[in-house]
Chain A
Amino acid sequence: MQSQLPFYPDQASNFAPSVDSLMTFLILVSVFFSLAITAAIVIFFFKFHRKSKNEIGVPIHGDMRLEVLWIVVPAILSLAMFGWGAAVYVDFRHAPLDTLDIYVVGKQWMWKVQQPNGRREINELHVPVGRDVKLVLASEDVIHDFFVPAFRVKMDVVPGHYNTMWFRPTKAGHYEFFCSQYCGTNHAVMGGWVTVMEPSEYAAWLSGSTGGDANPVTTGEKLFAEKACSTCHLSNGTGRAPSLNGVYGGTVRLADGSTVTADEAYIRESILLSNAKIVAGYQPLMPSFQGQLTEEDIMSLTAYIKSLQSQPVPATGAGVIAPGKK
């Protein structure tokens, strides 16, 4: 569906056409019922207007068939709205596998963005057209919300949680983004612009990165040594803590027998609340790093751990269950 309707914003992502079609469906249903009820009221109002001062109405107490009709018909329409809406939402909440991951940190009252190669932006976001982009969202203080009307997507940015959102830009251009969760005094100026570029331009822009922006993987590797993570998490699996090689995206068996998928949220929790989930076969020795790392530190560490995904997983002492070995 094209954005020909006058009251629709730009359509610039994969979600925009599906959200707009859904909107059109709901508008049509609503207009139909509004007009029908309004017409009935207006017609009855004039047709059955009181003719004489003492006239009374015809005593009709109800009609079971009508009651059933106006319970069943709205129920069916509601189910249709629910189902269609749910399909779009489930798609939005489950990012595809191969995404371009960009880290976004909200704080009163600015957005800090870091591209995969470490290039930093403030209140700006550059993305290539046609690529699935995943934003990993963190907050340093209160709840914010990253909202791009032209993409028809938003997601709360919650302190203490990682939320993610994804979209695929479909049209190059500049689109405004907003903070849409009230966050204090300058909430209304906490916004910026998304620049959607052709992939080649994006690559050129990305490589034009200034020397000051360290690669998050390098920064994370440095932190990994500085914070003494490397003294226990030996890559060959002989340390007091499991090797992190290949952990990201894999399945981890925990001491209580359950398993968990090692995503950003799991890594973050394991750093901050280190005893929340203990890997099977290990002791709860790791100190909590709550309050000692900034959101950006955590993101760098996560980026480093993600970079270990391709490293060889040791036969023993691995944090991750080898594929096919459950």
Chain B
Amino acid sequence: MSTTPPKPPGYQLPEEHYLNATYGIRSWLLTTDHKRIALLYLASVTFFFFIGGIFATMIRIHLLTPAGYLVTPETYNKLFTMHGVAMIFFFLIPSIPAVLGNFLIPLMIGAKDVAFPKLNLLSWYIYITGGCFVLYSFATGGLDTGWTFYTPLSSVYSNSAVTPAVIGIFINGFSSILTGLNFVVTIHTMRAPGMTWFRLPLFVWAQYSTSIIFILGTPVIAITLLLAGLERMFHLGFFNPALGGDPILFQHLFWFYSHPAVYIMILPAMGVISEIIPTFARKPIFGYTFIAASSIAIAVIGFFVWAHHMFLTGESTYAALAFSLLSYLVAIPSAVKVFNWTSTLYKGSISYDTPMLYALGFIGLFLIGGLTGLFLACLGLDIHIHDTYFVVAHFHYIMVGGAVMGYVGGLHFWWPKITGKLYPEFLARLAAVILFVGFNLTFFPQFILGYLGMPRRYHNYPPEFQVLNVMSTAGASILALGYLLPMIYLTWSMRYGKVAGRNPWPATGLEWTTASPPLTENFDVTPVVDWEPYDYKNRPDLGLQTPTAPTLAPAHGDD
């Protein structure tokens, strides 16, 4: 996969870049370079992904037989709780924003760094501190409340290490808040000359929307878990009815953040897909303004749908009607994105490079995840499928099929920029296909299990559900292979991969106009942007054939 003339300055690494500018452990732990901080996050979220993955593997092995195969009920409950906590709070939420967002936002907008580089490093330390509390909880008694921490189970009845876990998640929240703040200020104030709002890559729009949720939503989860912790430690009656509290209040507060948190996970992945598709179809994205606006719409409407998790708690019928309607409303901007991505392929020049395989896989999986969301938003159906495996399958399609596929696809897409090296293309395509097949085999049977009535969080189950559970476990083993492969060949490629050059695909973003890996300061001179996003036609510098003489491109949305 090498590129075409004009050759970028040499197929050799630049002599000095952010990776070799300084050496030693101090140069990493005290760095304020957004790119190095991104790599610190990359290492730490991979660690938590690995831990969460081990828990998931044990869950699937346990469910091979109806009576449960591997562990006691107590241990099983801890496994699914710790799987959820590690994956959601310490992998999915920070993954794309803190790794790819940190690395790319300044590069994409033509800035030297984020607005507050020291705050950026502080965010990572806060994340690590929160992570240590949670690991302490896992190691000393574990956690068995479910990742949702429903009261009064978590605040009164659980015998596991709830307190350190809620403290850890409370602390970790500040990392999200500061990262969101940093990104918003960076995007507002540090865009290069000519980089107008509607020339921003859609990835930046998605990160901007995500940052809004970080800032507005995270304080609510932080304070909610703190209240649950205070009730547990000091018997203050917030949620425990015996002390005059209300357990349903906890759910309102919890989901006020945790539903928007779903969009924290999926919006950045949608941003990644919006970069990959035009690059590998070599044409402008279809409906730029609609995709950008739909990110903002999702972030805003996403704050008004939380009580759809609570249709069967006894909430008022009128509240249920309103929240169901609003949940359908938030589905529309998601549908708009899918239609626009698909239309972008029309009359493209499509290649099947690895990132494109991930992007197309993402559309398929997100489609199923999104459509099954309509089932759960449907009041009459939710009576039956709420709290069953249907829900488990639905949110794994969104979070794993969507968010993780987007993250892994994005890692492949920007890997040449991050490391300056190419990964082995054949292995990478193979891994993408393995992941797609393994994922569907793991989670599709769970939709059927759910409709048949298998409740979630069960360490044993009626024997008639065994066939589907065995299918799911078989799929999970394929899925595990699909994740191990990239971990291995990406690491391998850092040392042995072919040198990538500035712009191997080639892509149109500013990040591709600088060296790979970039300099510590990102650009030799501040770039000036005089082109529209994804405008292959008017970019002779990319060295691609242009059908007609370059003309001044019409702006996006010339419709």
Contacts and interface: CB of A to CB of B under 8 A. Distances in A.
Contacts, number: 311
Given A57-B347, A185-B73, A48 B458 contact: no
A265 to B, nearest CB: 9
Contact of A154 (B343, B360, B384, B547): B384
Interface string B333-373: 00110111011011111111000000010011001100110
Interface in A75-111: 75, 78-79, 81-82, 84-90, 92-94, 108
Q: Which of B284, B290, B368, B458 has the most CB of A within 10 A?
A: B458
Contacts of B320: 89, 93
Contacts of B248: 158, 161
Given A45-B360, A158-B248, A56 B345 contact: no
Interface stretch (A15-23, A210-218, A232-240, A255-263): A15-23
A23 B313 CA distance: 22
Given A41-B364, A48-B281, A82 B325 contact: yes
B375 interface: yes
30 contacts: A7-B448, A30-B374, A44-B348, A45-B360, A48-B345, A49-B352, A50-B350, A54-B545, A55-B349, A56-B544, A56-B545, A57-B282, A57-B283, A63-B287, A70-B335, A82-B377, A89-B324, A92-B383, A143-B153, A147-B455, A155-B312, A156-B313, A158-B247, A160-B242, A176-B462, A178-B453, A180-B387, A185-B74, A186-B73, A187-B77
Given A9-B453, A26-B381, A160-B247, A67 B287 contact: yes
B242 A154 contact: no
Contacts of A145: 312, 387
B73 A48 contact: no
Contacts of A57: 281-283, 347-350, 536
Q: Which size class do A's interface residues fall under?
A: 35 or more
Given A66-B339, A74-B332, A187-B457, A19 B383 contact: yes
Contact of A30 (B328, B338, B371): B371
Given A78-B374, A82-B377, A149-B453, 7 more contacts: A7-B448, A7-B451, A54-B4, A81-B378, A143-B313, A156-B313, A189-B73
Contact of B380 (A7, A9, A87, A186): A87
A61 B556 contact: yes
Contacts of B459: 188
Interface stretch (A31-39, A125-133, A200-208, A243-251): A31-39
Nearest to A79: B328
B39 to A, nearest CB: 32
Contacts of B470: none
A56 B537 contact: yes
A62 interface: yes
A188 B461 contact: yes
A54 B241 CA distance: 68
Contacts of A82: 324-325, 328, 377-379
A143 B349 CA distance: 55
A154 B385 CA distance: 9
B332 A182 contact: no
A61 B558 contact: yes
B69 to A, nearest CB: 14
A41 B345 contact: yes
A179 interface: yes
B190 to A, nearest CB: 27
Contacts of A150: 453
A54 B3 CA distance: 9
Contacts of B338: 37
A153 B363 CA distance: 33
A30 B55 CA distance: 32
A89 B282 contact: no
A37 B367 contact: yes
A152 B384 contact: yes
Nearest to A181: B387
Interface in A1-27: 7-9, 15, 18-19, 22-23, 26
A183 interface: yes
Contact of B290 (A60, A67, A108): A67
A200 to B, nearest CB: 29
A82 B290 CA distance: 25
Interface string A110-129: 00000000000000000000
A59 interface: yes
A179 B284 contact: no
A90 B554 contact: no
Interface string B271-299: 00000000001111011111000000000
Contacts of A75: 332
B156 to A, nearest CB: 8
Contacts of A85: 324, 377-382
A180 B4 contact: no
Given A142-B152, A185-B73, A62 B286 contact: yes
Q: Which size class do B's interface residues fall under?
A: 35 or more
Contacts of A184: 77, 144, 153, 157-158
Given A62-B286, A184-B153, A34 B325 contact: no
Contacts of A37: 338-339, 342, 363-364, 367
A155 B314 contact: yes
Q: Which of A7, A15, A61 has the most CB of B within 10 A?
A: A61
Given A41-B364, A66-B343, A82-B324, A189 B380 contact: no
A64 B317 CA distance: 38
A152 B314 contact: no
A71 B334 CA distance: 10
Nearest to B81: A182
B284 A60 contact: yes
A66 to B, nearest CB: 7
A53 interface: yes
Contact of A142 (B153, B364, B461): B153
A63 B537 contact: no
Contacts of A49: 350-352
Given A53-B4, A57-B282, A85-B381, A179 B554 contact: no
A71 B332 contact: yes
A61 B559 contact: yes
Contacts of B386: 154, 180
Nearest to B152: A142
A163 interface: yes
A18 B348 CA distance: 45
Contacts of B364: 37-38, 41
Contacts of A152: 383-384
B383 A71 contact: no
A82 B314 CA distance: 19
